[in-house]
Chains A and B, each alone.
Chain A
Amino acid sequence: MAHVLQFRHALALVALAALLIFWTQAGYFGMEILAEIAVFAILAMSLDLAAGYAGLVSLGHAALFGFGAYMFALFTVLWGWPASLAVVLATLATGAIALIVGAVVTRVQGVFFIVITLAIGEMGYEFFFKNRALGGDDGLSGISRLDLSAIGVDLNDPGIFALFLIVVAAITYLLLVRLLASPYGAVLTGLHDNPGRMRALGLPVRTYQTSIFAFSGALAGFAGTLSAQHTQFITPNLLHWTTSGEVLVMVILGGLGTLVGPVIGAVVLTLLRHELSNVTDYWGFWLGFFLILIVLGGKNGIVGWLAAGWNALRGARPDDDRAADEPAEGEEASDAAR
């Protein structure tokens, strides 16, 4: 079963290689797209932890993303703190908010969970939309980037900044792979598959659900600090539920609970949005058409389709395909023990 994980890591490597090749060819606009892809890849991975692995499908994830961005802007622009400190503190502050929110929202399940996260997310949106001190609906501008000139890196160069974000996304991926191979990672799939049994076996289910909601939120906040540095101008739209929906689409499009899927989803959706809008005014229509094609057929997003195709090429047994559609950190563990 380890080949499932190997396949996914191979996909991640291919995605990284593709982004790096694109980077060598990209002009100014291409660099902007690459930076956007990297930020959304991190955000989508963070949502996959909660939604894909732990089964907590949140429609308020962008509110945490936007909160991180606003905290970063508040700390740097309004309070004049150094950007490095602001990244850390904005990430922690978002984690703290997500911890409080998580303690509340994990009281309910299923569709109620979706609605309550949506409602709390919209509260966040409204707050920043109305708050004049933080620019209200005009947003906040004048945000500066991390200063890495000490090590000879100028992040104000669009190409360097895009590369920096791609590296950060790659490191995030590797750290999350490690997390998912831990006992904690196994607990996440247990919570996804059968929280009631986990409780009967001795796990304080809500504590764990709250913890992953908080961690996922902190990571979303971190992505927010990167987004603020990328665009250097933020508006409350970052927190809007449509942004949450878009990230959720990235995760589902790529493959829920696969970690690499959300990365691929971020790449594909961002590229399609930019490229299709050049070709046709009906780009939203064709995007929807593409999404329907991918999701229909019972495969777990693009990763599911690719795994099925790969297995068909190898002439593998059909049940390998089923395994490939599933979150698999426990599988890696079982393989390593063999």
Chain B
Amino acid sequence: MLRADKLCKAFGALQVTRDVSLDIPQGARHAIIGPNGAGKTTLFNLLAGELAPDAGAILIDDRDITHLPPNRRARLGLSRSFQKNNLFPRQSVQDNLLLADIAARGYGYRFWPRLAARKDAYRKAETIAGQIGLVDDMQRGVAELSYGAQRQLEVGLALMAEPKVLLLDEPTSGMSPEETGRMLRLIDDLPRSLTVVMIEHDMDLVFTHADRITVLNYGEVLMEGQPEEVRGSDAVQETYLGGEAQ
């Protein structure tokens, strides 16, 4: 479903992504982990189109999207959430979701019909709000939401696009244990047809919720495998889990 072929990216002399290849099948729950500075976020930005790779290719559904801007990738089914909440802070939850629907389905050019007449968009916003547990907060402003609820909305915006591939950038970052639990249930409840790729810091989350893990170190793929394999790998223990335990 999502493939990366020998991606490379350097910032000046610093090579932050080196020959990274991924092949993520439909329905996968794929995690990308690695110590700070391993190049996770850069890889993510390459996949989402915020950065252009120096070399390599990115394919979604066998279609080459290497040179497409983020908005074109989104329209092709690649949707992302952000590590730092990236919402429409002056708007209500409902309006946030509606804006996502307009952008994702490309009817923003319609300047005469009323948005209020798009019952389908309101129904979809209602459905997604149910999925992210914010159905009772539809009319509340984003600024009034708790941090955890904002994180949920962050994922909700990405879901409004009805993506094929969902890229989650540290979905539980900064969350309390309860909020993390809620986010994990949200991720568990996503339809199995959806391909989910996440960057995550929380090891428990990665080992219990991913079915495949790519470990990055110094911009390279250190190893890729199932959670047990990764957990059992000496190299991973040394570079990452050991470091984490300090």
> Is the beta-carbon distance between A330 and B103 smaller than 8 angstroms?
no
Interface string of A58-81 (1 = CB under 8 A from B): 000000000000000000000000
Give the nearest-CB partner of A323 in chain B: B141
- Flag A318-338 by CB within 8 Å of B: 1 or 0 each: 010011001101111111110
Interface string of A207-249 (1 = CB under 8 A from B): 0100100000000000000000000000000000000000000
Residue from B72, B82, B94, B115 whose CB has the most chain A CB atoms within 10 Å: B115
A202 with B111: in contact, given A194-B87, A197-B86 (CB under 8 Å)? Answer: no
Majority secondary structure of chain A interface residues (helix, strand, loop or mixed) = helix
Beta-carbon contact of B115 and A200 below 8 Å: no
Task: Scan residues 281-338 of chain A and give those whose CB is less than 8 A from a CB of chain B.
Answer: 319, 322-323, 326-327, 329-337
User: Interface readout for B156-198 with A: 1 if CB under 8 Å, 0 if not?
Assistant: 0100110000000000000000000000000000000000000
Query: Does B95 reach chain A (CB closer than 8 Å)?
Result: yes
Interface residues on B, range: 35 or more
Please state if B115 and A330 are interface contacts (CB–CB under 8 Å): yes
Question: Considering only CB atoms and an 8 Å cut-off, how many residues of chain A contact the other chain?
Answer: 40
Task: Flag if A330 contacts B92 (CB, 8 Å).
Answer: yes
Q: Is the CB of B92 within 8 A of A1?
A: yes
Residue from the list A184, A326, A335 in contact with B108, Cβ < 8 A: A184
Contact pattern, A 165-179, Cβ under 8 Å of B = 1, otherwise 0: 000000000000011
Distance from A194 Cβ to chain B, minimum over Cβ atoms (Å):
5
Q: Which of A1, A193, A208, A323 has the most CB of B within 10 A?
A: A193
Residues of the B chain whose Cβ atoms lie less than 8 Å from the Cβ of A329: 115
Task: Please state if B94 and A190 are interface contacts (CB–CB under 8 Å).
Answer: no
Is A183's CB under 8 angstroms from B116's CB?
Answer: no
Would A1 and B139 count as touching, CB distance under 8 A? Answer: yes
Q: In the complex the two chains form, is A202's CB within 8 Å of B88's CB?
A: no
Complex contacts, A322 vs chain B, CB 8 Å: 141
B83-122 at interface with A (beta carbon < 8 Å) = 86-92, 94-95, 98-100, 102-116, 118-119, 122
Chain A residue with the shortest CB-CB distance to B102: A183
Q: Are B114 and A182 in contact (CB under 8 A)?
A: yes
Specify which chain A residues have a CB less than 8 angstroms from the CB of B118 in the assembled complex: 183
Give chain A's interface residues, CB within 8 Å of chain B: 1, 178-179, 181-187, 189-190, 193-194, 196-205, 208, 211, 319, 322-323, 326-327, 329-337
Additional A-B contacts beyond A197-B88, A200-B48, A333-B116 (9; CB < 8 A): A178-B112, A186-B108, A189-B91, A198-B99, A198-B103, A200-B74, A201-B79, A203-B102, A330-B99
Which residues of B are in contact with A by a Cβ distance under 8 Å? 48, 50, 69-72, 74-75, 79-80, 82, 86-92, 94-95, 98-100, 102-116, 118-119, 122, 138-139, 141, 144, 157, 160-161
